[in-house]
C-alpha cells in the first residue's frame, strides 16, 4: 500500500503515483455497489492502491456519515438525538457499509483517515448547529462498536493537540474517551462487564 506524508489527522496527502482525483467517482461506484448488495471485491481489485489510500478512506467515510447521520431527527435545540433507538437505527444502516469500512480499518493509515473524516464532519456540523453536543462521542462509540477503530488509534488521535478545533472535538468526545479508559483499566483487571457510555 502507498505511504502517506503529513500530519495524521488532517487531510491525507497521497503518494504521487495515485490519481486521487478519481477517488470521488470511485467512492460513488463502491457505494452504488454496496447499496445494490452487489459484490464489491471486483471493484476493489480494479484499483487496490486507490481503495486502500487514506484519501479514499476519508472520502468514503464522509459519504457514509452523510447517509447515516443526516436522516436523524433533530431535537428542539437543533441537536442530533442519540437515544438507544437512534443508535439501533444507525447500527442497522451502518451494516450496509460495514464490509467496505472494515476492510479499510484493517490499515492503520485508514483508521487515521476515518478519524479525520469524523472530526471534519463534527466541526462542520458544529458550525451549522452552533455546538457539538457530544456528536463526536457518539460517532466514536459507533465506530468502535463496529470494529472500525482500535483503542490505540482513538487514544493516539485524542493525544494530539494540533489545533484549537481538534482540541474542541476531543473535548466533545470526553464521555466516550472516559468510558474507553475505564474499560481498558478494568479489562486489565479481567472485568469485561462494562456498560457503554
pLDDT of residue 26: 82
Write out residues in the chain with pLDDT < 50, as ranges. 1-16, 190-193
Q: What is the pTM of this model?
A: 0.79
pLDDT of residue 70: 65
For residue 188, CA distances in Å to 16, 96, 110, 191 come to 43, 34, 27, 8
At CB < 8 A and 24+ separation, what contacts does 121-126 make? 121/62, 121/65, 121/69, 122/169, 122/172, 123/165, 123/169, 125/69, 125/80, 126/168, 126/172
Backbone φ, ψ for residue 22 (5° rounding)? -80, -10
- Measured CA to CA, the distance from residue 86 to residue 72 in angstroms comes to 8
Which residues, including other chains, have CB under 8 Å from residue 160's CB and lie 6 or more apart?
Answer: 8, 9, 166
Give me the pLDDT at residue 132, please.
78
Where are the extended beta strands (E) located within 19-135?
none
Please report how many Cα atoms fall inside a 13 Å half-sphere around the Cα of residue 37, on the Cβ side.
1
- pLDDT, residue 97, reads 83
5 beta partners: 13
Q: Residue 62's pLDDT is what? A: 85
Q: What is the pLDDT of residue 177?
A: 96
Amino acid at each position: 500500500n502507498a505511504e502517506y506524508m503529513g500530519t495524521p489527522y488532517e487531510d491525507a496527502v497521497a503518494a504521487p503515483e495515485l490519481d486521487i482525483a478519481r477517488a470521488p467517482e470511485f467512492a460513488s461506484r463502491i457505494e452504488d455497489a454496496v447499496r445494490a448488495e452487489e459484490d464489491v471485491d471486483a471493484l476493489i481489485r480494479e484499483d487496490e492502491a486507490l481503495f486502500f489510500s487514506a484519501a479514499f478512506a476519508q472520502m468514503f467515510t464522509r459519504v457514509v456519515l452523510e447517509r447515516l447521520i443526516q436522516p436523524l431527527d433533530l431535537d428542539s435545540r437543533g441537536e442530533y438525538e442519540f437515544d438507544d433507538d437512534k443508535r439501533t437505527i444507525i447500527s442497522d444502516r451502518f451494516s450496509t457499509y460495514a464490509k467496505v469500512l472494515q476492510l479499510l480499518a484493517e490499515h492503520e493509515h485508514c483508521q487515521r483517515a476515518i478519524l479525520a473524516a469524523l472530526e471534519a464532519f463534527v466541526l462542520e456540523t458544529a458550525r451549522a448547529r452552533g455546538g457539538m453536543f457530544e456528536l463526536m462521542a457518539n460517532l466514536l462509540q459507533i465506530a468502535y462498536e463496529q470494529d472500525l477503530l482500535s483503542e490505540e488509534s482513538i487514544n493516539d488521535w485524542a493525544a494530539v493537540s494540533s489545533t484549537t478545533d481538534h482540541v474542541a472535538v476531543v473535548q466533545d468526545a470526553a464521555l466516550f474517551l472516559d468510558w474507553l479508559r475505564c474499560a481498558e483499566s478494568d479489562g486489565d483487571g479481567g472485568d469485561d462487564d462494562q456498560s457503554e457510555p
